């Protein structure tokens, strides 16, 4: 395997030494371009108190192209589909090499705090969301307690 | 080249299949759209012309376990077919099918389906007598 | 005591002469590869004039030549500066040389410009069509 670019090494070191609050990201031992991520659901969102697992991979072209990211924990959200794929502009057309793993993870956390049913990936969820937001938020909360790990049980301070 | 992890490789394959960017003579997709592990897949092969398979559509199941793509997928025909590399239960025998036997990480489900189709169209196999159209392994 | 100099060796250091911004600090890292400008970009073995600094004109962002080249080669870059997303153009400075890579940079910038103009024309055409439909 080719040597890891310095930028990736630096980003990884900083993710570990100075983690983003509410997000942990560790490279896999066997593949330093692959990361295991755990993300706290943002406060006062339907995902509050849940910890969500994600996986992230830096393709060969990184940072000319964005990291690939997906949720491993099932989540009810209009911009995240059943396979955990995320619809977010900075992961597609609006990527810039000025962004980093940490800014991307923060953007994903922000997406959890403010779902955007007008630009959906999971169509049925987006429809539910637009039809009856209160009900959709209820389902999202239910899924959070059903599928996500509990925030308190993970050892994080409440 | 770095090693793309299993899940992201399968997502790429899925996207290629969903967008219809793969070859026209084959298709594949997840058996269950909710399967977050992306293990069970369906495939189809359009029988190659000028062979006993012409105008037939063969369906298959493909299993990509957690060793994929370091190890080849498990491939089984659902539609009955007479082909030397396919056993009496429809399984593609890796010892008799080069693509599975000499598997490379860069191969994909598309490679497998296209190579099976090529085998069906090969001069040695294209005239093999075939089971009735529409019959399946149970 | 008398000293006789038998031999001497000169040592010099160099660094890119970067404008200091209002706050008194010069940007020291390439915004793309995050390596100091005086260091080497990921495509180079040694720092130096084979991979000069490219200074943004209109924006204040600077990059290793190879880094900005690789970015502008991407369609998704749309010819924009990675940092501020303004259309990227660079300052022509004296003694910049005329390497093939600098030429490529210019070609990429012009290519993106042509692409933007074509898109604008298409958009205008679309709105023109809309107008026609409305008057029908």
Closest residue in C to A5 (Cα–Cα) = C42
Cα angle value A110/A111/A112 (rounded, 5°): 90
Q: What is the pLDDT of residue A154?
A: 45
Superfamily of B6-121 according to CATH: Ubiquitin Conjugating Enzyme (3.10.110.10)
pLDDT tens, per residue, chain B with 138 residues: 689 999 999 999 999 988 877 788 999 999 998 899 999 999 999 999 999 999 999 999 999 999 999 999 999 999 999 999 999 999 999 999 999 999 999 999 999 999 999 999 999 999 999 999 989 997
- Give the mean model confidence (pLDDT) for residues A114-123: 82
Chains with 3 or more CB pairs under 8 A to chain A:
B, C
Domain range list for chain B = 6-121
Residue-wise pLDDT for A40-68, tens only, equals 999 999 999 999 999 999 999 999 999 99
Q: Is residue A144 part of a domain?
A: yes
ipTM of predicted complex: 0.87
Q: What is the pLDDT of residue A25?
A: 96
A37, A38, A39, A87: the catalytic one is: A87
Q: Is residue C122 part of a domain?
A: yes
CATH code (residue A30): 3.10.110.10
Q: Is residue A49 part of a domain?
A: yes
Domain residues for A26? 6-150
Contact flag A7-C34 (C-beta cutoff 8 Å): yes
Residues ≥6 apart with Cβ < 8 Å to B76: B60, B61, B62, B89, B90, B91, B92, B137
Residues ≥6 apart with Cβ < 8 Å to A111: A77, A79, A86, A88
CA separation, residue C79 to residues B61, C24, C68, C72 (Å)? 45, 29, 10, 6
Total domains in the fold of chain A: 1
Residue-wise pLDDT for C61-105, tens only, equals 999 999 999 999 999 999 999 999 999 999 887 767 678 888 899
Contact flag A2-B2 (C-beta cutoff 8 Å): yes
The pLDDT of residue A123 is above 80 = no
* Whole-number Å distance between alpha carbons of B43 and B116: 11
Full-model pTM:
0.84
Total domains in the fold of chain C: 1
Domain residues for C72? 53-135
A65 is catalytic: no
Chain A, residues 69-128, CB within 8 A of chain B, namely 70, 72, 74, 82-85
Q: Is residue C35 part of a domain?
A: no
Q: What is the pLDDT of residue C100?
A: 85
Q: Is residue C18 part of a domain?
A: no
- C touches B (3+ CB pairs < 8 Å)? no
């Amino acid at each position: 395997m080719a040597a890891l670019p310095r930028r990736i090494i630096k980003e990884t070191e900083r993710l570990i030494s100075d983690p983003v609050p509410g997000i942990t990201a560790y490279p896999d031992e066997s593949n330093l371009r692959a990361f295991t991520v755990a993300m706290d659901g943002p406060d006062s969102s339907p995902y509050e108190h849940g910890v969500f697992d994600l996986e992230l991979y830096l393709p060969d072209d990184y940072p000319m192209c964005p990291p690939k990211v997906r949720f491993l924990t099932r989540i009810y959200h209009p911009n995240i589909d059943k396979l955990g794929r995320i619809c977010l502009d900075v992961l597609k057309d609006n990527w810039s090499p000025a962004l980093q793993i940490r800014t991307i993870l923060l953007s994903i956390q922000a997406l959890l705090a403010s779902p955007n049913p007008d630009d959906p990936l999971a169509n049925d969820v987006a429809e539910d969301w637009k039809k009856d937001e209160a009900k959709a938020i209820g389902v999202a909360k239910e899924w959070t307690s059903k599928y996500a790990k509990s925030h308190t049980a993970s050892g994080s301070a409440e | 080249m770095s090693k793309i992890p299993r899940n992201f490789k399968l997502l790429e394959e899925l996207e290629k299949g969903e967008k219809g960017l793969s070859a026209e003579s084959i298709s594949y997709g997840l058996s269950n759209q909710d399967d977050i592990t992306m293990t069970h897949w369906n495939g189809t092969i359009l029988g190659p012309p000028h062979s006993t398979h012409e105008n037939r559509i063969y369906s298959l199941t493909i299993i990509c376990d957690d060793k994929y793509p370091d190890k080849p997928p498990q491939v089984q025909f659902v539609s009955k077919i007479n082909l030397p590399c396919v056993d009496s239960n429809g399984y593609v025998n890796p010892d008799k099918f080069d693509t599975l036997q000499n598997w490379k990480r860069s191969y994909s489900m598309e490679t497998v389906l296209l190579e099976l189709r090529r085998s069906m169209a090969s001069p040695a196999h294209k005239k093999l007598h075939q089971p009735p159209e529409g019959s399946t392994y149970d | 005591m008398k000293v006789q100099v038998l031999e001497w060796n000169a040592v010099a250091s160099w660094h890119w002469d970067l404008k200091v911004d209002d706050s008194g600090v010069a940007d020291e890292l390439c915004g793309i590869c995050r390596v100091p400008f005086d260091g080497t970009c990921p495509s180079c073995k040694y720092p130096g004039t084979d991979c000069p600094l490219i200074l943004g004109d209109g924006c204040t962002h600077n990059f290793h030549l190879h880094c900005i080249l690789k970015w502008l080669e991407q369609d998704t870059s749309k010819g924009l500066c990675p940092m501020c997303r303004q259309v990227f153009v660079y300052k022509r400075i004296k003694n910049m040389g005329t390497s093939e890579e600098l030429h490529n940079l210019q070609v990429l910038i012009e290519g993106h410009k042509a692409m933007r103009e074509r898109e604008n024309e298409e958009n205008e055409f679309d709105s023109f069509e809309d107008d026609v439909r409305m008057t029908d």
